[in-house]
Amino acid sequence: MSNQKVRVRFAPSPTGPLHMGGVRTALFNYLFAKRNGGDFLLRIEDTDQTRYVPGAEDYIMKSLEWCGIVVDEGIREGGDCGPYRQSERKALYRKYADELIASGNAYYAFDTAEELDAKRAAFEAKKETFTYNSQTRGEMNNSISLSAEEVEGKIAAGEQYVVRFKMPDNHEVKEEDMIRGWVSFNTDQLDDKVLFKSDGMPTYHLANVVDDHLMGISHVIRGEEWLPSMPLHVLLYQSLGWGETMPRFAHLPLILKPVGKGKLSKRDGDKMGFPVFPLEWTDPKSGELSSGYREDGYFAEAFVNMLAFLGWNPGTEQELFSMDELIESFSLDRVGKSGSKFDPDKTKWYNHQYLMTKDDAELAVLLLDILKEKGIESTPEKAAIVCGMLKERVDFVSEIYEQGAFFFQAPESYDAKAVKKRWKEGVPEIMSEILEFLKGVDNWEAAPLKEVFSPFVTEKGWGFGVVMNAFRLSLVGAAAGPDLFDICAFLGKEEVLLRIENAINNIKR
């Protein structure tokens, strides 16, 4: 086993958009594979056709691609162990269900939905819960309670059936989880799970185990919600004679809501003010739109970096990790057992960190897209200058636009609060004098401009704050923004003079 090549898989069911917990599972699998020189497979588990959602597969692949998680084998990439979509593997599962029946580890069950309901109701009436297991299977309609002839007759007559796993009686299943250590389960707490249905489709449990075996999977890394399935899976490997090559298991801790109790769910997202999906998603049935990290302006690197820290930590102070650094440092030993709280503010912090490391020119491309959308023309050079001036103050490129729109458009209105505070009596007169003074200034770079402007203000005996605030209000329309002389240099003399004139004429106190 230890010499076996590391092969892991991400095995989502295409029942909707991939939620960030799913992306984290994919990421941890990917990091583990790449750290260990192994393969990362993408297998689509679509045996439950009733839950199939069109577009989900494509969404999953696009999400992984956006995050930089590269699939080695999968429905698009192909590979030696294909097909990688379970519905296309349908024909191969039957054989294993038959093997399990032949070896006495599984049996046919003919119980109808009505019969099962009646049984459940009868148990409820006794204030008990019905479990299909060693205690009850003898009274049910199955190949354990019926004779061989009866069973053959029913199958020949085309009666619907399922194949159930025959859970051994009072048996201890012990297995080592790479994150949790040894975990043990008593089979009396488990039920006879359905493995196969008469429509020819396996259930998740059978298909998952068979495929992990046939695809040479060495490690199963998945969410904690699958921990209760581990004993059944272990027993299936053993019953199918694959105990020796069984993969090792690692169940990742839950991702918890930022506030309150419990697991972060798909429904939390927009309600709590942050996306839970990597990319935007429109529900094909309801048309409802859910926000995505990408469209909300997060950088994929920031999203991935944040996800990596949901359950894992490097054991050092370092918080910023590129994908390559994550691969370099990742180990399941440093994944904790307890759930980790999702922190939307920290996610913004990550975005801010990545935004600051980007070139102004790179950010300018994104800013120009936003400007174009708003119908504002500019140049890559100008956009880059603005990005350089504002990037330290924002978490998103969209905020560069929000805070810096005045660079591209003269203010159409003036912030009322700022006007009240900063456009006091006497200010229009001061600004008129400043206008005249500036007309005579030729060197319009930020530093020389400041050098002549400051002595002028001092000489006039005006309060420096009063002047600067009014000046800013004239150019920006508000009481915010970067260094005023940088703004002047960017706008150019003509535009600055125009804006001061507009302010004098238009600001009404």
Output 192 or 212, the one with its CB closest to ligand GLU: 212
Run of H or E residues at 176: strand 172-177
Nearest distance from residue 115's CB to ligand GLU, in Å? 29
Residues facing 175 on adjacent strands:
183
Output 58 or 124, the one with its CB closest to ligand GLU: 58
Could you tell me if 264 and 342 are in contact, meaning their C-beta atoms sit under 8 angstroms apart? yes
Q: How many Å apart are CA 480 and CA 421, to the nearest integer?
A: 13
> Where do contacts with ligand GLU occur on this chain (CB under 6 A)?
11-13, 45, 204, 208, 222, 226
Output 29 or 134, the one with its CB closest to ligand GLU: 29
Output 92 or 272, the one with its CB closest to ligand GLU: 92
Q: How many Å apart are CA 404 and CA 389, to the nearest integer?
A: 9
Could you tell me if 305 and 311 are in contact, meaning their C-beta atoms sit under 8 angstroms apart? no
The closest of 383, 407, 421 to 476, measured between CA atoms, is 407
3-state DSSP: the chain helix, strand, coil percent, rounded to 5?
A: 50, 10, 40
Nearest distance from residue 279's CB to ligand GLU, in Å? 18
Q: 377 CB contacts (<8 Å, ≥6 apart)?
A: 371
Nearest distance from residue 307's CB to ligand GLU, in Å? 16
Cα 112 to Cα 82, 119, 139, 141: the distances in Å are: 35, 11, 14, 9
Amino acid symbol at 203: T
Q: How many Å apart are CA 449 and CA 493, to the nearest integer?
A: 10
Phi/psi class of residue 52: alpha, beta or left (left: φ > 0; alpha: ψ in -120 to 50)? beta
Nearest distance from residue 209's CB to ligand GLU, in Å? 9
E strands within 6-124? 7-10, 39-42, 106-109
Active site residues: 266
Residues facing 252 on adjacent strands:
223
Nearest distance from residue 85's CB to ligand GLU, in Å? 12
Output 264 or 467, the one with its CB closest to ligand GLU: 264
Q: How many Å apart are CA 185 and CA 232, to the nearest integer?
A: 10
Nearest distance from residue 352's CB to ligand GLU, in Å? 32
Output 8 or 449, the one with its CB closest to ligand GLU: 8
